[in-house]
Each structure stands twice: as C-alpha cells, then as structure tokens.
C-alpha cells in the first residue's frame, strides 16, 4: 500500500468516527480525484503538436480533444485513470497509417484538461459530445477505466461499429473494492461510498444493476468486441477481461498476453496491430499466436 494512499485512509477513518456524513462526502470526492496528472512525453508532445485541438465544456471544467488525419473512417481512443489521450500514441500512429481519422481526448482532471476530478458522467458527456460531432465511430479502443466509461456511454446512445478494450475495467464495483482496500477504509465508509455512488452516479439503474457494469450492456451493445488483457496486470486483474468477454459470448474474442502489465501493453507492437486489424477487418482478423516471445499473445481464447 502506498503512503499517499494510507495517509488519506487514516484521516477518513478517523473523521468517520465523529462525523460520518462529512467523511462520506470526502471519500466520494477523493474517489473521483486523480492523485497524479500524467505529463506528455517528448514523442507524445510531437504528436499533440500535429493535432487539431479542441474542447468539450462541462460544468465548471473542460476536456481537451485531439483530432488527427482526414480519413473518412473515424476511430475514438479512450484513456484510463491518471492517464491522457497521448498515452495511446502508438495506436494513433497505427490508425493514421491505415488512413483513419483518429480522435482522442484528455478527460477533466487529466492531461491538459482543466479541473481536479472526473466522474464516469464526465466521460459519458465527452463521448456523447464527440459522437454528436463525428457520428457513429468505425472503431472505439479503450484502456483501463476508459473501458467502463465507454460502455456507459454506449449504453446511452454512443455508437461504434467495432470495439477493442485493453486492460479494461468491467465492473464499477471493482473500482470501489480496489479503492477502499488500498486506503484501508472502514466498512461504514465503504457502505457510505456505495450509497453516494448509487444516488449521484446511477440513480436510474435498478438496485440489482447498480453500480454499473459493462457486463450489463451485452443486450444493448451489439458491436463485436476484442478484449485484450495481460495475465500479469497488477492494476486491473485479468479476471475483469474474462468477465467482460464472457458477458458478450460469441461476439467477443479474448486475448490474454503475458509480461506486459497494465501500461506497457499499450505500446506493444503486436497488441497495437491486433487492435487496428480488428477495427479494420472485424472478428475475422488474424492474430499471431505463434510468436516465441512469451510476452506476446500467450493464449487466444
């Protein structure tokens, strides 16, 4: 457990003993606040300089959007927590090489965007706005938390012909469990966090489907799905990938890699190629399963 996580946890647990509601409000706020803001690497800065940069206005803050290329086919890239759009730079370049127009963004509290926090509602607003701007996407590629947020937006009308997830979160509950475990929060605070999440984020969901899960969208989202997850991902366990793939049944393909972890997987050449091939050619796209390098495509399920 990181010191930066244990100190707030101790403070929140202490506060909850004397002031439950303020402690609950503080826990809910911290849950949506990235503790670090990713900065662009030199190669990413060069890519950003080539982009058409725009904004999506939200209440009291804004997201920053990026567009590359002039192709007639459009792919949307969705970053994860404490990340930024340019972290998917290898995917940007690969899709541009195939003639796509590529759209990405920095969510509020991330990258070059304003604000100190972001919720799944903010992600939904950004994706919905981009959908209104560009129309249905030929492909959507999402990483980590961006996966869960993307399916939330897909449930609310965003359309994509093909979907690729990398190291994706399937269940909102998974985030709550990881957050409360990392901070060592008391059960009372966890219950209060769940109450606020249900009230403020998912008020229209039935009790048995709250918090939200991407698995709940299998009957609503009819696009084919490629799920890529690393067996050694210590941030988002591979069982989240298996659960997402299992929920979509025959419409999903699960690829489990080895040795790439949670972030390095984004830049792996074989992962990038598989994602781009799937968006371009669909479920019939071939995957290289005969590589001797143990890091790449250990199993194809």
pLDDT of residue 291: 34
User: With 70 as the cut, is the pLDDT of residue 2 above it?
Assistant: no
Q: What is the mean pLDDT of residues 215-237?
A: 96
pLDDT band at 50 (very low <50, low <70, confident <90, very high): very high
Confidence at residue 259, expressed as pLDDT on a 0 to 100 scale = 96
What pLDDT, on a 0 to 100 scale, did the predictor assign at position 12? 58
Q: Tell the residue number behind the tokens 């968006």, with chain if given.
A: 279
What percent of the chain has a predicted confidence (pLDDT) above 70?
87
Average pLDDT, stretch 186-192?
89
User: What pLDDT, on the 0 to 100 scale, is given for residue 26?
Assistant: 83
Cβ-count burial of 143 within 10 angstroms (0-12 exposed, 13-18 middle, 19+ buried)?
A: buried
Q: Single out the residue of 150, 133, 144, 10 nearest to residue 65, CA to CA.
A: 133
289 pLDDT above the threshold of 60: no
Q: Would the pLDDT of 299 be above 80?
A: no
Check whether 208 has a pLDDT greater than 90. no
Q: What is the pLDDT of residues 131-184, one digit of tens each?
A: 999 999 999 999 999 999 999 999 999 999 999 999 999 999 999 999 999 888
Per-residue pLDDT, 186:
85
pLDDT given for residue 3 in this prediction: 41
Quick: pLDDT tens for 6-34.
656 656 555 455 345 767 788 999 999 99
Percentage of the chain with pLDDT > 90?
77
Q: Averaged over 218-230, what is the pLDDT?
A: 96
Helix or strand run (H / E) with residue 95: helix 89-97
- Chain centroid to Cα 129, Å, comes to 17
Residue 293 binned pLDDT confidence (cut-offs 50, 70, 90): very low
Q: Are residues 236 and 262 in contact, defined by beta-carbon separation less than 8 angstroms?
A: yes
* Mean pLDDT for all residues in the chain: 90
Q: Are strands 61-68 and 74-78 parallel, antiparallel or unpaired?
A: unpaired
Q: What is the mean pLDDT of residues 90-119?
A: 97
Beta bridge partners of 36: none
pLDDT at 294: 38
pLDDT exceeds 90 at position 207: no
Contacts 24+ apart (CB under 8 A), 13-18: 13/184, 13/185, 13/186, 13/189, 16/186, 16/188, 16/189, 16/192
pLDDT, residue 43, reads 87
């Amino acid at each position: 457990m990181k010191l930066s996580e244990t100190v707030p946890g101790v403070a929140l647990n202490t506060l909850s003993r004397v002031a439950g509601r303020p402690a609950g409000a503080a826990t809910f706020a911290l849950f949506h606040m990235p503790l670090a803001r990713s900065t662009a690497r030199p190669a990413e800065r060069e890519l950003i300089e080539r982009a058409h940069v725009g904004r999506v206005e939200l209440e009291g803050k804004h997201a920053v959007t990026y567009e590359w290329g002039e192709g007639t086919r459009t792919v949307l890239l969705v970053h994860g927590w404490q990340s930024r759009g340019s972290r998917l730079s290898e995917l940007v370049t690969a899709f541009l090489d195939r003639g796509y127009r590529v759209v990405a963004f920095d969510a509020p509290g991330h990258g070059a965007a304003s604000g100190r926090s972001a919720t799944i509602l903010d992600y939904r607003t950004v994706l919905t706005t981009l959908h209104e701007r560009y129309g249905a996407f030929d492909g959507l590629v999402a990483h980590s938390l961006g996966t869960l947020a993307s399916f939330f937006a897909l449930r609310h009308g965003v359309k994509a012909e093909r979907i690729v997830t990398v190291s994706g979160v399937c269940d909102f509950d998974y985030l709550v469990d990881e957050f409360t475990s990392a901070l060592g929060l008391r059960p009372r605070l966890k219950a209060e966090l769940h109450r606020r999440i249900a009230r403020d984020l998912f008020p229209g969901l039935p009790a048995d489907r709250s918090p939200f899960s991407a698995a709940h969208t299998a009957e609503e989202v009819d696009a084919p799905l490629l799920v890529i997850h690393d067996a050694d991902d210590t941030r988002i366990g591979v069982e989240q990938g298996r659960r997402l793939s299992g929920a979509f049944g025959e419409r999903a393909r699960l690829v489990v890699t080895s040795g790439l972890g949670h972030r390095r997987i984004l830049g792996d050449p074989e992962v990038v190629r598989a994602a781009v091939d799937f968006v371009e050619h669909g479920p019939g796209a071939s995957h290289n399963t005969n590589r001797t390098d143990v890091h790449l495509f250990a199993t194809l399920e």
